[in-house]
A and B are shown apart, each in its own frame.
Chain A
Amino acid sequence: MVIGGGVVGMSIAYGLVKAGDKVIVLDEGDDAFRAARGNFGLVWVQGKGAGNIDYARWSLASARRWKAFGQELESLAQIGLELKQEGGLRPAFAHADLDRQLHEMAAIRDAIGCTYPYQPLDAADVRKLVPSAGADIVGAIFSPMDGHVSPLRLLRALVSAFVRLGGSLCTGEAAQRIIPRTDGFEVVTMKRSVRSGRVVIAAGLGCRALAPQVGLEAPVHPERGQVLVTERMQGFLPYPTPHVRQTGEGVIQLGDSKEDVGFDDGTTTRELGRIARDAIRYFPLLDSVNVVRAWGALRVMTPDGYPIYEASRECPGAFLVTCHSGITLAANHAGAIADWIRGASEPSELHRFKANRFHEFHVQTATQ
C-alpha cells in the first residue's frame, strides 16, 4: 500500500506493480494541497548536492535512468511525456553569482566520482544558444545532463500505467491512521480500513502526522512556490532554465518563490510581480506576453532540503519517502526505491537520508 498519489507515491507504486506486486494507492481528494501541482517539470542535475555529494550522485543517477524509464512508461501508458534531455541553462545576472556557482560545480565534479559535464558560457555564448536572452544576463552554466518533462503528463501516465498493470488507485481516501498488525498494517481512512503487508508513506506534507505511527519521523514543512503560466507561444526557448521554461504546448512557465507561509497556497501580487520582473530580465520578449494562470503550490521541505528514505526498524515493512524533487528522482523511485521496498538491499546513497540527521542538526543550532 502506498499512501499518497502524487509524483513520488505514483512513481513508487508504478515501480512496485511493474515488478509484480499487488498494490493499492490511497490518495486525498480534489481539494488537497498537492505539491505535484507546483512542479516545474525540471529533470535537473547541475548545482544539486553542492553540500551533499550523495545527493548529487543520487540526482545524476536518476537523470541518467530517466530516458529508459520514460520510454517504458510512455509505451505502457500510451501517453507522451514531452521529455527533452538536451541540456539545461542556468543564467546569471551578476558575475559574483556565476563565479560562486562555477566554484560549486567544480567541487561537485571533483568529488562525485563519475563524469559531470558542464560548460560556462559568457553573454555572447548565451545569446548564440538562445537569441532572445536578455542583455542583463552576464553568462550562464550549460549542462547536457539537464532537461525537462511535462509534470502533468508524467503523473497522468504513471496513474494510467499503474491502473493498466492492475494497480488500485483510491482517490478521496485520505489516510488517517496506520495501525501496525502482526501480519502487516491496517490503514484507516474516513471510508474504511485497508490491510496490507507493507506500507509506503509518500504523502507529502501528510507524512508528518503519519510517520510516527510506524516508528518513523518526517519533520517536513510547507514551502510555498508561486508559479505563473502564460498563453501559448511559438517556440523560442529550446532549453529549460530554473525559472523560465517553455513547455511542449508552447506555454511559458515562470517561477518561483520560496516562502514560509504555512498552509497558504494563495498567490501574492508582490511575489508574482517579482517573478514577472525577473522573467522579463531573462527574456525581454516576454514583456507583452499575457499571464493566464498563477498559483501557489506547497512544496514539501525537510529542514535541510534533502530527502528522507527510511525503513522502519520498529515496524518492519513500513517505509517513508519524502523529497521535493519528485520529477528528477522519479526514475530512481520507480527503480531502485521500488526494489528496496520489495526487499533488495538499500542503495548506498541513501545512508545520508535518514531522519536522525535532524536531531544532530537541531543540537548544533541550539549551541550557536
Chain B
Amino acid sequence: MNSMFRPLLSDQPPLFVYMTIEGRPIRARSGENLALTLLQAGFSHTRLTPVSASPRAPLCLMGACFECLVEVDGRPNTQACMLEVREGMSVRLQNGARRAESGDDA
C-alpha cells in the first residue's frame, strides 16, 4: 500500500517513538502529528463512516473536518490531527460507529 505522505529530511537527526497502529508496530518521529503518522505509515483511510461504511481520510488537518477520527488507547472517535504521537500509543482505525462497551472492557 503506497503511503499518502513521505517525510522530508530535517536539519537535525529525528528522535523516534515506537507505537502500534492496527496492531502493526510503527516507528514515528517524536512529537509528530498522529494524522500525518497514519498517512506516512501506509494507511489510506482513518475511518469507515457509520452511515455507509465509506472510507475517509483527513481533509483539513486542523480539527475542523472530523474525518481523522480514530481510536487512541481505547478511546474511540478521537481526532488524530489534534494529537502528537507518544511512545507506546496504540491506535486503531475507527471503522463504523463506536462500540457500546465501558472503558474497562475495551
**B-binding residues in A (CB < 8 A):** 132, 231-236, 249-250, 284-285, 287-290
Interface residues of B (CB under 8 A from A): 50, 75, 77, 96-103
The 12 sampled A-B contact pairs (Cβ below 8 Å) are A132-B100, A231-B97, A232-B97, A233-B98, A233-B100, A234-B98, A235-B100, A249-B50, A250-B97, A285-B100, A287-B103, A288-B102
Nearest neighbor of B50 in chain A, beta-carbon distance: A232
A250-B50, A288-B75 known; A233-B102 Cβ under 8 A: no
Chain A min CB distance to B31 (Å): 25
Question: How long is the Cα–Cα vector from A250 to B97 in the complex, in angstroms?
Answer: 8
User: Contact at B75–A233, with CB atoms within 8 Å?
Assistant: no
C-alpha spacing A290/B77, complex, angstroms: 8
| Inter-subunit contact B77/A231 (CB<8 Å) | yes
A249 vs B50: C-alpha distance in the bound complex, in angstroms?
9
Closest to B74 in A: A288
Residues in B neighbouring A249, C-beta threshold 8 A: 50
**Cα–Cα, bound, A290→B76 (Å):** 9
CB distance from A163 to the nearest CB of B (A): 26
Distance between B32 CB and nearest chain A CB, rounded to angstroms = 25
Residues of A contacting B97 in the complex (Cβ-Cβ under 8 angstroms): 231-234, 250
Beyond A233-B99, A285-B100, 11 extra complex contacts between A and B, CB < 8 Å: A231-B77, A231-B98, A233-B97, A233-B98, A234-B96, A234-B98, A234-B100, A250-B50, A285-B102, A288-B75, A288-B103
Min CB–CB distance A132 → chain B (angstroms): 7
User: Are B98 and A289 neighbours in the complex by a CB distance under 8 Å?
Assistant: yes
Measured between beta carbons, the chain B residues less than 8 angstroms from A285 are 100-102
Report yes or no: A284 in contact with B102, Cβ–Cβ below 8 A.
Answer: yes
Which residues from B are CB-within-8-Å of A289?
A: 98
Residues of chain B with a CB closer than 8 A to A236's CB: 100
User: Which of B75, B77, B99, B103 is A234 in contact with, Cβ under 8 Å?
Assistant: B99
A277 to B85 Cα, complex, angstroms: 32
B77 to chain A, nearest CB (A): 6
Which chain B residues border A287 with CB–CB below 8 Å?
Answer: 102-103
Write the nearest CB–CB distance from B50 to chain A, whole angstroms. Answer: 4
Q: With the chains together, A287 CA to B98 CA distance in Å?
A: 13
Contacts of B100 in A (CB 8 A): 132, 233-236, 285
CA distance A285 to B100 in the complex (A): 7
Which residues on the A side are within 8 Å of B102 (C-beta)? 132, 284-285, 287-288
Among B99, B100, B101, max chain A CB count under 10 A is at B100
**A288 to B100, alpha carbons, bound, how many Å?**
10
Residue of B nearest to A230 (CB): B98
Closest to B69 in A: A231
Contacts of A288 in B (CB 8 A): 75, 102-103
Give Cα A249 to B97, complex, Å.
10
Q: Which 4 A-B pairs have the closest CB atoms?
A: A236-B100, A232-B97, A285-B102, A232-B50
- For A285, the closest partner residue in chain B by CB is B102
Q: A235, A287, A288, A290 — which one has the most chain B CB atoms within 10 A of its CB?
A: A288
What is the bound-complex CA distance between A288 and B102, given in angstroms? 8
Report the Cα distance A285→B103, complex, angstroms.
7
Q: What's the least CB distance linking A138 to chain B, in Å?
A: 20
Inside 8 A of A231's CB, which chain B residues have their CB?
A: 77, 97-98
CB distance from A25 to the nearest CB of B (A): 31
| Least distance between B98 CB and chain A CB atoms (Å) | 5
Complexed CA–CA distance, A233 and B101 (Å): 10
Q: What is the CB-to-nearest-CB distance from A182 to chain B, in angstroms, rounded to a whole number?
A: 55
Nearest B residue to A236, CB-CB: B100
Chain B residue nearest to A284 (CB atoms) is B102
**CB of B69 to closest CB in A, whole Å:** 9
Report A245 CB to chain B, min CB distance, Å.
Answer: 14
Contacts of A284 in B (CB 8 A): 102
| Contact of A232 with B103 in the complex, beta carbons under 8 Å | no
Alpha-carbon distance A68/B97, docked complex (angstroms): 32
A232 contacts B101, CB within 8 Å?
Answer: no
Q: What is the distance, in angstroms, from A286's C-beta to the closest C-beta of chain B?
A: 9
